[in-house]
Amino acid sequence: MSKLKLSLGCWDYDRTRALMDGTVAVDGIDLNYLNMPVEETFFRMLRHREFDIAEMSLSSYTVSLFKPERPFIAIPVFPSRFFRHSCIYVNADAGIREPKDLIGKRIGTPEYQMTAPVWIRGILDEHYGVPVDSVTYVTGGEEEPGRPEKLKIDLPPNIKVEQIGPTQTLSQMLLDGEIDALHTARMPSTFLTGKGKVQRLFPDFEAVERAYYRDTGIFPIMHTLVIRREIYEANRWVAQSLYKAFAQAQQVAYQNLRETAALKIMHPWLLSNMEAVVQEMGEDFWAYGFENNRKTLETFLRYHYEGGLSKKLLQPEDLFAPETFEAFKI
C-alpha cells in the first residue's frame, strides 16, 4: 500500500527535528517537512491553505473555527509554549511602574488576534486587575511598516483597536512615546538600541513566571498543529499517525536535553537548569495530549472569548480531532 504524500509547514524545533531529518517516520504518510519561520507558515496557511498540515497560531486556529467552512482541524501537539510576562514592554517615560498603570494607555500589538497578546491581556485582566477593554490597542508592523490581521476579526464595540500609519512601526513608536506599551511575541529592536527608553514591565520576569506557574499550573500554549479538514475527513487515521510521530520526535528532544556524554545544546549549565525545570514542572514539562492540557486550554479559550475574538465560549473538545482525545503510551 502506497503512503499518503503530505506537506508540513513547521519551523525547525528540537522537538520536531527528528521528523525533519527522518529519524522518526509517520505511519502511512510520506511527509515533506518544509522548514519556515512561523509568520510565513501562518500567513501562507491561513490565506492560501498551501500546506496539508501546518504549525498554527492557537488563536488564529480558534478564530478559523467561526468561519463557515472551518478549514482546519487540530491535534493536541504544541510546538510552541511560552510564558509571556517577559513580552510586555513599556516606554520609560510613560509612568508605568506596575500593571494597573497600563489602564487608559495606548498599547501596541502587531495583531490583536495573535496568541501571545491573547495570553498577555487575559493574564493582566485576571491576575493584575487590568480589564481587556480598559486600554486602546494599536496594531501594525513591529519592525516593518504594514501588518494586517491575517484573519478578518469582528470585535465588540467596547474593544478599542486602531491601525498605525503606513510608514510607522510599533518598535519606533514605543521608543518615541507615541504608544505607552507593547504586547508582542518578539523582542522589539528598540529594547536593545533605545538606551533604556524601552523597558520590560516585569524586569525580573523569570521569578514572576515561576510564581505564575506555581499559582496556576499553566505553561501557556502558543501554537498547535492543524490538518486541512478535507484531508482529515477523507483519511481520519492521519490524526493519530501524526500525533504518535510528533510525540516520538519530542521524546528524542527530551533525551537530548538529558545527554551528559557531550552537550547537544549550547548551554553550559543545561543539566542543572533541566533538573530545576523538572523539579518545578515535572518530567513531561512540555506536555502534548488533550486531557493533561485541559486547564491551560480552558483558560486560553476563556481569554479568547473575553477579548471578543470568539463568538461563543468554546470548550477544549471543540478544537481537536476526537481520535486524539485518549492518550496512549509511546
Domains, in order of start, for the chain: 4-81+221-324 (3.40.190.10), 85-216 (3.40.190.10)
Residues facing residue 29 across a β-bridge: 4, 26
DSSP string, 228-288: EHHHHHH-TTHHHHHHHHHHHHHHHHHHHHT--SS-SSS-TTHHHHHHHHHHHH-TTTT--
Which residue stretches of the chain have pLDDT < 50? none
Maximum alpha-carbon separation in the chain:
66
pLDDT at 328: 61
Give the predicted TM-score (pTM) of the model. 0.96
Other CB atoms closer than 10 Å to residue 26's CB: what's the count? 23
pLDDT at 90: 98
Sheet holding 223-228, edge to edge: 29-35, 4-10, 53-57, 223-228, 72-75
Residues facing residue 81 across a β-bridge: 221
Q: 135 with 201: CB under 8 angstroms?
A: no
pLDDT at 32: 98
Q: In angstroms, how far is the first alpha carbon of the chain from the final one? A: 24
Residues facing residue 5 across a β-bridge: 30
pLDDT per residue as tens digits for the range 239-248: 999 999 999 9
pLDDT per residue as tens digits for the range 297-327: 999 999 999 999 999 999 999 999 999 998 6
Question: Could you tell me the CA-to-CA distances from 284 to 55, 288, 316 in Å, in that order?
Answer: 21, 9, 20
DSSP string, 198-224: EEESSTTHHHHHHHHHHHH----B-EE
Residue indicated by cell numbers 477593554: 133
Tell me how far apart the alpha carbons of residues 49 and 12 are, in angstroms, rounded to a whole number.
20
pLDDT at 150: 79
